């Protein structure tokens, strides 16, 4: 029974993420000890407690932090399934945020009941447009998505800064003006439940997005096409899948997810504004961490987003002990570094817990390891891996 | 009798897979000793142990009657063991001379003493009758020549025990003959040769003795002279293998696939890889395109199947022009394609068996409803293919394809392509890297298609395959069809001359 459980790939993925987290926390503890050994342990406990520190308000804070990074995490993870490394989540996020604010302030002609919804849709469209550019360039001209999406981050940032100053600028505070009340996300009783105003129906929209992405990837022919393209673009072409369409659509959807994340954060009514600064939206990069930690699986991303938000709340709290909250960023970075070794952890775990399944009765079967050392070794395999590795990194 | 190599009771375990199980292998001084076995029989593993790439769990090695421990290839080199790998390891923009001395340069104040090296190389090449031009660039010489460079490289480092890993896979018949001569020459000079192969004809031609492995077990060592091919193949496979494939006598039908004046340019240059090629494949015939690798056959197939753009010409299926159709449309029009590179094109290796089984058909109503995959239908279909085509894998339809053996991966592709009931099957090197059993099986499947009146276009580099199963042979040389031959009327040698470009049939007509 035990072996059966571990044969399940999801479980080993989960365990390897857990090992990465443990390693990250250990390093965090060391940093705490080095900087102030006296308060290190209570501070460490506080980090672990994170959002559970402050009752329901703490939980609300975790959700508030988690919403944007789960969305950007979904964005990065979804594109990754199609073999694209969407570093541009930051730019897509910012575009979405700006358009949401713009609509939230300027489009007073929209019926009040659906004003927030229209603003969110606008955010999605803006993100999608921003995501589509690297997608199109990659599909038609084979330009690496990493490069174009990085450039799109900067273009997006400066464009948004410029647009804010021209349209919805609060020159006194060097930031955007507040959105109209009708554009703020409805609370749907969440504020009473959590006894704070930071929460809204945003978390439900995130859950819907997670489920939708899960269904697309795992249940539909569209998801099948995307994954086939991501895993082996040449084979998809051979199979008659329109790989250009798949790549573009994948980036469009990824962009829409990031854009929606931007809309959800800035319409949450928490007093958050876009400052006119030369600074890329950090949520986009947190999304990469979240996607890596969540193994690009929608549910994994959801949990990883909550977890990182939980740590961030903890990091915020350790300021009580005179620690800087940046320690949390370091812990998260170590977790991500270790997460990059997730494959290694995965191998170690499966080596310790399971034996490879080999049926000795049937001839012609050999484990992958052996077939690599085979007489007529198929070099195609190695080349293949190298082939689409280029695109991922 | 003096043994130069003695490997006694070698056992090698990967995980809980016994790659070698109590194998004993002894080579006499001055003989060509063939090592015969199917893929996965453990030939390469055994040689890797001798060459120091792996260490055995159990067993001992003696070289020249002395017990040794070989921990890495350097140890092997100092014991004068050399290896010509199946895929040559040469630097393309080096000259022949530079390649030979690579890694063994003698230097004087940091400057390579090339003249000395050149003298030694020329001396060696004369002594062993390995004609080469020391100043030619590797990229400019033929594959056969590259192999000579590899051999000279071994001789340059004074190897006494030479391992040849499937050396004939990339050669033309003439080059193979040359190689055999060279091997005999080497043995005459006192070298000992280990010749890894699964081609019985070659073993018959050149080897003195032959050790057979099967599934990691030692089966026996025989004198090649007194053992028939049939006996050896039975030792290798464990059952009788029929070398002759029975084909029904049927009349060929209408042309199914027509190719007219096809011209295809190389990807990044102006060179025509396929130059004004025309032919037709009729129903009930296996038309084979023979040629040495790199003469445009891959591009020809990519062009026909839509994976590469066509510059000029037309492709028709049953009279319908499909030149500019998408790959999907061509497949719906009845074209099946068993691709040359099963890892690059044929399979999504990280998908499981059932996902790969529906790679071209997942969108059909039987497998999806309003965009949602019908998982039960897909699994059921995969199980049907597994049963019908005898595809073996660790976890049946849930096996990740990467973990399946090459033969079974290929069976899966063949199953998928033939089960779509195509009008034309385009099979490119369908048996590359497969053992005798799987090869026989795939040949039978292709012939079965032909016997049903389907058209089969076979592209192959294996002469035996070409001669055995085709009804008509077109020889491609530098992108042009240089011969239209009847396999019943020509000899392998003649075919080799066409493939090497030294012969051409006058008025080739479609």
- pLDDT tens per residue, range B160-191: 999 998 888 767 777 888 889 889 988 998 89
- Torsion from C-alpha of B469, B470, B471, B475, nearest 10 degrees: -160
Nearest chain A residue to B375 by CA distance is A219
The pLDDT value given to residue A2: 40
Name which of A375, A379, A389 to mutate to probe chain B: the one with the most chain B Cβ atoms within 10 A of its Cβ: A375
CB contact under 8 A, A367 and B44: no
* pLDDT confidence bin for B377, thresholds 50/70/90: very high
Q: Which of A222, A367, A380 lies closest to B17 in CB terms?
A: A367
Q: What is the pLDDT of residues B488-508, one digit of tens each?
A: 888 888 888 888 887 777 544
Q: Would you say residue B249 lies in a domain?
A: no
Query: Which of these, B41, B45, B73, B43, lies nearest to B57 by C-alpha position?
Result: B45
B148 shares a domain with B260: no
The pLDDT value given to residue B242: 64
Residue A33: both structure tokens together: 């000890």
Give the span between the Cα atoms of A355 and A352, in whole angstroms.
Answer: 8
- Asked if B76 and B51 touch (Cβ cutoff 8 Å), the reply is yes
Give the 3-state secondary structure of residue A275.
strand
- Residues of chain A neighbouring B405 (CB-CB closer than 8 A): 364-366, 371
Domain harbouring B439, CATH code: 3.40.50.300
Q: Which residue has the tokens 């073996």?
A: B392
The pLDDT value given to residue A299: 94
Give the span between the Cα atoms of B228 and B327, in whole angstroms.
Answer: 47
CB contact under 8 A, B40 and A371: yes
B409 shares a domain with B334: yes
Q: What is the pLDDT of residues B209-243, one digit of tens each?
A: 999 998 889 999 999 999 988 888 888 888 776 66
Q: End of a domain among B184, B206, B237?
A: B237
- Asked if A60 and A193 touch (Cβ cutoff 8 Å), the reply is no
CB contact under 8 A, B349 and A381: yes
Q: Would you say residue B369 lies in a domain?
A: yes
- Residues of chain B neighbouring A364 (CB-CB closer than 8 A): 40, 392, 405, 407-408, 437-438
Nearest chain B residue to A234 by CA distance is B345
| Element of type H or E holding B203 | helix B200-206
What is the count of structural domains for chain B?
A: 2
Nearest chain A residue to B329 by CA distance is A240
Under-50 pLDDT residues of chain A: 1-7, 355-393
In the beta sheet, which residues pair with residue B293?
none
Domain boundaries, chain A: 1-36+325-355, 56-322, 358-393
pTM: 0.75
Q: End of a domain among B205, B237, B269?
A: B237
Query: Which of these, B409, B347, B392, lies nearest to A357 by C-alpha position?
Result: B392
Q: End of a domain among B178, B205, B237?
A: B237
- Torsion from C-alpha of B459, B464, B467, B470, nearest 10 degrees: -40
| Touching A: B residues 434-463, CB under 8 Å | 437-438
Q: Which residue has the tokens 């089960």?
A: B419
Range of the domain at B137: 3-237
b/e for B238-265, b at 16 or more Cβ within 10 A?
eeeeeeeeeeeeeebeebbbbbbebbbb
Does B430 touch chain A if contact means CB atoms closer than 8 Å? no
| Element of type H or E holding B401 | none
Nearest chain B residue to A360 by CA distance is B17
**Closest CA–CA distance from residue A353 to any residue of chain B (Å):** 13
Does B347 touch chain A if contact means CB atoms closer than 8 Å? yes
Span of A223-227, B53-57, B83-87 with lowest mean pLDDT: B83-87
Q: Which of A235, A241, A377 lies closest to B345 in CB terms?
A: A235
Q: Which of A220, A234, A376 lies closest to B371 in CB terms?
A: A220
Neighbours of B320 (CB within 10 A): 11
Does A279 touch chain B if contact means CB atoms closer than 8 Å? no
Does A343 touch chain B if contact means CB atoms closer than 8 Å? no
Does B387 touch chain A if contact means CB atoms closer than 8 Å? no
Give the span between the Cα atoms of A44 and A36, in whole angstroms.
Answer: 11
B111-112 and B107-108 beta bridge pairing: antiparallel
| Touching B: A residues 203-242, CB under 8 Å | 219-222, 224, 227-228, 231-232, 234-242
Query: Which of these, A202, A165, A176, lies nearest to A103 by C-alpha position?
Result: A176
The pLDDT value given to residue A97: 97
Q: Which residue has the higher pLDDT, B127 or B290?
A: B290
Residue B137: both structure tokens together: 């660039």
Half-sphere exposure of residue A192: CA atoms within 13 angstroms, side-chain side: 3
Does A113 touch chain B if contact means CB atoms closer than 8 Å? no
| Residue B108 Cα distances to B95, B102, B105, angstroms | 20, 15, 10
Sequence-distant (6+) residues with CB within 8 A of A384 are: A232, B343, B344, B349
Give the 3-state secondary structure of residue A209.
helix
Q: Which of B17, B372, B407 lies closest to A358 in CB terms?
A: B17
Span of B61-70, B134-143, B440-449, B450-459 with lowest mean pLDDT: B134-143
B51 shares a domain with B197: yes
Does B368 touch chain A if contact means CB atoms closer than 8 Å? yes
CB contact under 8 A, A364 and B372: no
**Closest CA–CA distance from residue A116 to any residue of chain B (Å):** 31
**Closest CA–CA distance from residue A308 to any residue of chain B (Å):** 29
- Asked if B350 and B402 touch (Cβ cutoff 8 Å), the reply is yes
When the pLDDT of each residue in chain B is averaged and rounded to a whole number, the result is: 87
DSSP state of A321: G
Using a 10 angstrom Cβ sphere, with 0-12 exposed, 13-18 middle and 19 or more buried, the burial of residue A286 is buried
Nearest chain B residue to A359 by CA distance is B394
The pLDDT value given to residue B198: 78
Query: Which of these, A95, A256, A270, lies nearest to A179 by C-alpha position?
Result: A270
Using a 10 angstrom Cβ sphere, with 0-12 exposed, 13-18 middle and 19 or more buried, the burial of residue B35 is buried
**Closest CA–CA distance from residue A236 to any residue of chain B (Å):** 8
Percentage of chain B lying above the pLDDT 70 cut: 97
Q: Would you say residue B248 lies in a domain?
A: no
Give the 3-state secondary structure of residue A87.
coil
- Residues of chain B neighbouring A377 (CB-CB closer than 8 A): 44, 86-87
Does A390 touch chain B if contact means CB atoms closer than 8 Å? no
| Residue B401 Cα distances to A342, B84, B347, B355, B454, angstroms | 22, 31, 8, 9, 29
Q: Which residue has the higher pLDDT, B352 or A199?
A: B352
Q: Helix/strand/coil (H, E, C) string of B266-302? A: CCCCCCEEEEEEEEEEECCCEEEEECCCCCCHHHHHH
Query: Which of these, B297, B260, B141, B237, lies nearest to B437 by C-alpha position?
Result: B237
B276 shares a domain with B166: no
Class level of CATH domain A56-322: mainly alpha
Sequence-distant (6+) residues with CB within 8 A of A28 are: A44, A47, A327, A328, A330, A331, A334
Residue A66: both structure tokens together: 């988690």
Cα–chain-centroid distance for residue A51? 20
- Does ipTM exceed 0.90? no
DSSP state of A178: P
Does B343 touch chain A if contact means CB atoms closer than 8 Å? yes
Residue A43: both structure tokens together: 């501070």
**Closest CA–CA distance from residue B369 to any residue of chain A (Å):** 9
Give the span between the Cα atoms of B141 and B18, in whole angstroms.
Answer: 41
Cα–chain-centroid distance for residue A293? 9
Q: Would you say residue B395 lies in a domain?
A: yes
B290 shares a domain with B152: no
Nearest chain A residue to B402 by CA distance is A368
- Residues of chain B neighbouring A13 (CB-CB closer than 8 A): none
The pLDDT value given to residue A9: 59
| Element of type H or E holding B54 | none
Pairs across A and B, CB distance < 8 A:
158
Q: Which residue has the tokens 């961030």?
A: A312
Neighbours of B220 (CB within 10 A): 12
Give the 3-state secondary structure of residue A134.
helix
**Closest CA–CA distance from residue B406 to any residue of chain A (Å):** 8
Q: Which of B166, B395, B408 lies closest to A376 in CB terms?
A: B166
DSSP notation for B131-174: ---TTSBGGGS-HHHHHHHHHHHHHHTT-SEEEEESTTTT--HH
Orientation of helix B173-188 relative to helix B492-499, angle to 10°: 110
- Residues of chain A neighbouring B87 (CB-CB closer than 8 A): 377, 379
Residue B271 backbone zone (phi > 0: left; psi -120 to 50: alpha; other: beta): beta
| Element of type H or E holding A199 | none
Sequence-distant (6+) residues with CB within 8 A of B78 are: none
Nearest chain A residue to B344 by CA distance is A384
Does B45 touch chain A if contact means CB atoms closer than 8 Å? yes
Cα–chain-centroid distance for residue A214? 14
B483 shares a domain with B424: yes
The pLDDT value given to residue B1: 66
Q: Would you say residue B246 lies in a domain?
A: no
Does B333 touch chain A if contact means CB atoms closer than 8 Å? no
Query: Which of these, A23, A97, A60, lies nearest to A331 by C-alpha position?
Result: A23
């Amino acid at each position: 029974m035990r072996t059966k459980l571990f044969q399940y790939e999801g479980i080993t993925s989960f365990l390897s993420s857990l090992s990465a987290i443990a390693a990250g926390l250990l390093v965090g503890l060391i940093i705490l000890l080095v900087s102030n050994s006296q308060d290190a342990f209570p501070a460490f406990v506080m980090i672990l407690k994170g959002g559970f520190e402050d009752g329901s308000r703490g939980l609300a804070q975790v959700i508030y932090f988690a919403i944007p990074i789960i969305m950007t995490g979904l964005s990065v993870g979804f594109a990754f399934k199609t073999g694209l490394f969407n570093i541009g989540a930051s730019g897509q996020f910012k575009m979405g945020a700006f358009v949401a604010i713009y609509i939230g302030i300027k489009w007073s002609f929209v019926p009040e009941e659906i004003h927030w919804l229209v603003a969110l849709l606008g955010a999605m469209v803006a993100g999608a447009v921003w995501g589509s550019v690297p997608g199109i360039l990659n599909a038609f001209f084979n330009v690496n998505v990493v490069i174009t999406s990085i450039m799109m981050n900067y273009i997006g940032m400066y464009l948004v800064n410029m647009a804010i100053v021209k349209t919805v600028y609060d020159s006194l505070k060097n930031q955007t003006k507040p959105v109209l009340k009708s554009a703020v996300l409805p609370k749907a009783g969440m504020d009473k439940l959590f006894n704070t105003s930071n929460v809204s129906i945003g978390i439900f929209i995130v859950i819907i997005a997670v489920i939708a992405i899960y269904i697309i990837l795992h249940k539909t022919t569209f998801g099948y096409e995307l994954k086939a393209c991501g895993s082996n673009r040449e084979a998809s072409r051979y199979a008659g899948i329109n790989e250009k369409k798949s790549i573009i659509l994948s980036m469009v959807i990824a962009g829409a997810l990031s854009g929606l994340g931007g809309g959800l954060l800035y319409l949450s009514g928490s007093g958050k504004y876009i400052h006119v600064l030369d600074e890329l939206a950090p949520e986009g990069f947190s999304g990469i961490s979240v996607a890596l930690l969540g193994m690009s699986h929608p549910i994994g991303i959801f949990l990883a987003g909550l977890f990182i938000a939980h740590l961030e709340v903890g990091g915020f709290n350790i300021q009580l002990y005179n620690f800087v909250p940046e320690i949390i960023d370091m812990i998260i970075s170590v977790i991500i570094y270790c997460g990059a070794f997730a494959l290694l952890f995965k191998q170690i775990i499966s080596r310790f817990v399971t034996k490879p399944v080999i049926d000795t009765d049937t001839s012609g079967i050999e484990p992958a390891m052996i077939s690599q050392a085979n007489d007529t070794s198929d070099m195609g395999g190695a080349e293949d891996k190298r082939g689409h590795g280029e695109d991922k990194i | 009798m003096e043994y130069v190599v003695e490997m006694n009771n070698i056992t090698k375990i990967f995980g809980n897979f016994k790659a070698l199980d109590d194998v004993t292998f002894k080579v006499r001084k001055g003989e060509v000793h063939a090592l015969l076995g199917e893929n996965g029989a453990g030939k390469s593993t055994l040689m890797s142990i001798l060459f120091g790439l792996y260490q055995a769990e159990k067993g001992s090695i003696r070289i020249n009657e002395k017990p040794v421990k070989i921990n890495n290839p350097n140890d092997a080199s100092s014991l004068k063991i050399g290896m010509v790998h199946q895929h040559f390891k040469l630097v393309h923009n080096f000259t022949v001379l530079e390649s030979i001395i690579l890694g063994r340069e003698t230097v004087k104040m940091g400057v390579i003493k090339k003249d000395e090296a050149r003298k030694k190389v020329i001396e060696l090449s004369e002594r062993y009758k390995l004609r080469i031009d020391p100043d030619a660039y590797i990229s400019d010489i033929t594959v056969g020549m590259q192999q000579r460079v590899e051999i000279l490289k071994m001789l340059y480092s004074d190897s006494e025990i030479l391992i040849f890993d499937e050396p004939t896979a990339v050669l033309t018949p003439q080059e193979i003959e040359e190689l055999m001569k060279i091997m005999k020459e080497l043995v005459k000079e006192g070298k000992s040769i280990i010749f890894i192969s699964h081609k019985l004809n070659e073993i018959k031609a050149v080897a003195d003795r032959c050790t057979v492995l099967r599934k990691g077990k030692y089966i026996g060592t025989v004198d090649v002279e007194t053992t028939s091919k049939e006996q050896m193949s039975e030792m290798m496979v464990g059952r009788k293998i029929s070398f002759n494939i029975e084909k029904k006598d049927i009349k060929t039908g209408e042309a199914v696939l027509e190719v007219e004046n096809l011209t295809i340019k190389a990807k990044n240059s102006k060179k025509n890889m396929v130059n004004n090629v025309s032919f037709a494949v009729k129903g009930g015939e296996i038309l084979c395109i023979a040629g040495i690798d790199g003469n445009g056959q891959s591009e020809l197939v990519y062009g026909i199947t839509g994976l590469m753009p066509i510059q000029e010409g037309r492709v028709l299926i049953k009279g319908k022009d499909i030149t500019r159709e998408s790959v999907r449309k061509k497949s719906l029009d009845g074209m099946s394609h068993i691709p040359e590179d099963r890892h690059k094109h044929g399979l999504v290796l990280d998908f499981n068996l059932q996902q790969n089984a529906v790679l071209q058909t997942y969108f059909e109503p039987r497998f999806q409803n309003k965009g949602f995959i019908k998982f039960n239908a897909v699994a059921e279909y995969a199980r049907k293919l597994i049963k019908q085509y005898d595809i073996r894998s660790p976890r049946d339809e849930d096996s990740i394809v990467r973990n399946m053996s090459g033969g079974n991966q290929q069976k899966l592709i063949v199953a998928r392509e033939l089960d779509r009931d195509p009008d034309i099957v385009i099979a490119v090197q369908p048996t590359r890297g497969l053992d005798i059993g799987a090869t026989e099986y795939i040949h039978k499947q292709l012939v079965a298609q032909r016997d049903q009146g389907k058209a089969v276009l076979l592209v192959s580099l294996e002469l035996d395959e070409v001669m055995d199963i085709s009804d008509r042979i077109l020889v491609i040389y530098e992108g042009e069809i240089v011969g239209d031959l009847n396999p019943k009327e020509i000899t392998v040698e003649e075919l080799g001359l066409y493939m090497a470009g030294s012969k051409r049939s006058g008025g080739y007509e479609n």
